[in-house]
Copies of this chain bind each other. A is one copy, B any other.
Amino acid sequence: MHKPSYIIGIDLGATVVKIALFKRGLKRLILKETFFTKGYPSQELLFDKLVNSINRLISSCLIKKSDILGVGIGVPGPVNSQRGLVYYFPNIPGWKNFPLKEKLEQKLGLKVFVENDVKLMALAELKFGQARGVKNCVCLTLGTGVGGALILNGSLFRGSSFVAGEIGHLSIDWNGPNCNCGSRGCLEAFIGNKQILRNARKLFGRDISLEEISRLAKQGNKKAGKIWQDMGFKLGIALSGLVNVFNPEKIVIGGGLANAGSILFKSVRSTVKQRAMRPHSKVVSITKSSLGYNAPLVGASVLVAVSLFKDLN
């Protein structure tokens, strides 16, 4: 009997959209197509471009739609993953309450599954990365914002309205700086890209890029090192609280700033060791994501398999 065995994974990012073809159960992508999100400045234009790109990818691979199990799509914002409904995208205008699953299924004639991109990174880590075989794991991405997702009892945890995991909006100082979310002292208000760059500008007395800070820190520059140390400390405080509450055995850190290097990770680890409770800290290890840049894309393909077959394989 003929068995469909291809999966399309999509990472709809605020900067770049990536579309890739996967063979079921494999991490390596067969073919990838990308385009800049900003090139399609309305919701309608971006949606049409997405549909056209998917169709072109399929035809360029010379496979039939009946060979495809489904399409997984990761999006940069909160979604109702059961209904495939986008609540909104903080950094792409015009997608409020958009029924992405329904609309894409109509256009493509394929099954579509929608999930938040950080949750997909966690699924990718669970199937192929640092969270393989792990029961309880906190995943986070460090970038413009601080994203998070939880693996609990071996499965992606979604919460009561599918929006669990907002680790960036755990307050570590109730009286701290204002956060975009409306609260104060959130982890993201301390260690989001913008705040790091602002701190660096003060310390260096000039504009400086994240790449330069990383390079300088690796060369032993004290000021640059202090930036990653401080960031690791604040992150460590938030993670200590999560370690006390969740008692995970693993924390996986991804996203651009995870490349800051060993100074950052040392600082995170020593803060958690110092601040979390002993029965909790002694069972947890903190590692860098091994999937990197393509993690949400890989996770989108895992989502299709998990949704259709109810387990990871």
**What CA separation (Å) do A240 and B279 show in the bound complex?**
25
User: Given contacts A234-B174, A277-B169, are A160 and B245 in contact (CB under 8 A)?
Assistant: no
Q: A181–B246 contact, CB under 8 A?
A: no
Residues of A216-262 at the interface with B, using a CB-CB cut-off of 8 Å, are 233-234, 237, 240-242, 244-249
Q: Which residue of B lies closest to A280 (CB)?
A: B163
**What CA separation (Å) do A242 and B135 show in the bound complex?**
20
Number of copies of this chain that the complex holds: 2
Residues of A49-68 at the interface with B, using a CB-CB cut-off of 8 Å, are none
Q: A181–B277 contact, CB under 8 A?
A: yes
Residues of A141-182 at the interface with B, using a CB-CB cut-off of 8 Å, are 148, 150, 152-153, 157-167, 169-175, 181-182
User: Given contacts A159-B136, A275-B182, are A241 and B164 in contact (CB under 8 A)?
Assistant: no
Q: B237–A166 contact, CB under 8 A?
A: no
Q: Which residues of B contact A184 (CB under 8 A)?
A: 275
Q: A171–B241 contact, CB under 8 A?
A: yes
A78 within 8 A of B: yes
| CB contact between A246 and one of B153, B164, B173 (< 8 Å): that residue | B164
Q: Which residues of B contact A165 (CB under 8 A)?
A: 245, 247
Q: B172–A173 contact, CB under 8 A?
A: yes
Interface mask (A175-206 → B, CB under 8 Å = 1, otherwise 0): 10000011111000000000000000000000
A131 within 8 A of B: no
User: Given contacts A166-B277, A240-B183, A277-B166, are A248 and B160 in contact (CB under 8 A)?
Assistant: yes
| CB contact between A148 and one of B148, B174, B245, B280 (< 8 Å): that residue | B245
A104 within 8 A of B: no
A98 within 8 A of B: no
A283 within 8 A of B: yes
**What CA separation (Å) do A160 and B138 show in the bound complex?**
12
Q: Which residue of B lies closest to A79 (CB)?
A: B279
Q: Which residue of B lies closest to A166 (CB)?
A: B244
Q: Which residues of B contact A87 (CB under 8 A)?
A: 279
**What CA separation (Å) do A240 and B182 show in the bound complex?**
12
Besides the known contacts A161-B249, A183-B240, 13 further A-B residue pairs in the complex with CB atoms under 8 A apart: A135-B160, A136-B160, A152-B152, A152-B153, A160-B283, A161-B247, A161-B279, A164-B246, A166-B244, A166-B280, A170-B170, A173-B185, A174-B233
